[in-house]
Amino acid sequence: MNVLEIAYHRAAAYREDVAIQKVPPRQSYSQMRDRFAAPLPETGTSDQEVIEELANLGEPGLMHTTHPRFFGWVMGGSSPVSVAADWLASAWGQNAAMHESSPTSAAVEETAAGWLLDILELPKDSSVGFVSGATIGSFTALAAARGSLLLRQDWDVEDQGLFGAPDVHVYVGDDVHTSVLSALRYLGFGSQRLIRIDTDQQGRMLADDLARQCAGRSGAKLIIAQAGQINTGAFAPVFGNSRYCQ
């Protein structure tokens, strides 16, 4: 069999058996580290051997996120059709950065963007961007918010940078997700400058504490509220109500 056939058969066998396995990995991180630990090879290995060895070494340390009884974190397991589509995308090996470099990729992305606007009932001329995960998603949204708040104060952060820029007060709940904290650091908002808002047992930002904290500060305010707390699914009670922070 060629290397693609080997990968297919190993993947298919794994998916067929996953439902009868226990959800947690059979081996821990330290055990898997020992399994993979090896000196840098001095000579090459055939493609077929690489894939077989990867599957043999790696499967004991897999968390079975595609198991029907996996309920951990906010993670979606892949489906057979998404795996097949991913194989096609990998096999095509496109550079999707520009329309000219891959017309197919550009057209697929534009269509998916249109579908999202329909689902979310957003204006048809809205811009849509696809990101790799929560941290980059938060970074993108917060960068737009930072730029907009500073422009209202006649400061173009894209041209002038942050040195000497007007203050932007950043409010986060005590249960703020770590991806948001990472994004804020990337954007130049130091962790010591964040204003923490008390939360309830569901992880929801307390609107009264937010109003009190806002009242004590003047200037631009960037409020980061959670729409679906990661552990409880709760929404902060401030959405659509600007009276909590003026």
Q: What percent of the chain has pLDDT over 70?
A: 96
- Predicted confidence (pLDDT) at residue 176 exceeds the cutoff of 70: yes
Mean pLDDT of 112-119: 96
- Predicted confidence (pLDDT) at residue 243 exceeds the cutoff of 90: no
What's the Cα-to-Cα distance from 111 to each of 86, 92, 106, 137, 144, rounded to whole Å?
17, 19, 9, 20, 24
Domain 3-92 class in CATH: alpha beta
Q: Where does the pLDDT of residue 241 fall: very low under 50, low under 70, confident under 90, or very high at 90 and above?
A: low
Q: What is the pLDDT of residue 11?
A: 94
Q: Where does the pLDDT of residue 239 fall: very low under 50, low under 70, confident under 90, or very high at 90 and above?
A: low
- Dihedral sign of CA atoms 88, 113, 239, 144 in order: positive
Query: How far apart are alpha carbons 43 and 50 in whole angstroms?
Result: 13
Q: What is the pLDDT of residue 235?
A: 87
| Better-scored residue on pLDDT, 164 or 72 | 164
- Predicted confidence (pLDDT) at residue 15 exceeds the cutoff of 80: yes
pLDDT tens profile 90-115: 999 999 989 999 999 999 999 999 99
Q: How far is CA 232 from the centre of its chain?
A: 18
CATH number of 134-244, picked from 3.40.50.300, 1.10.8.420, 3.50.50.60, 3.40.640.10: 3.40.640.10
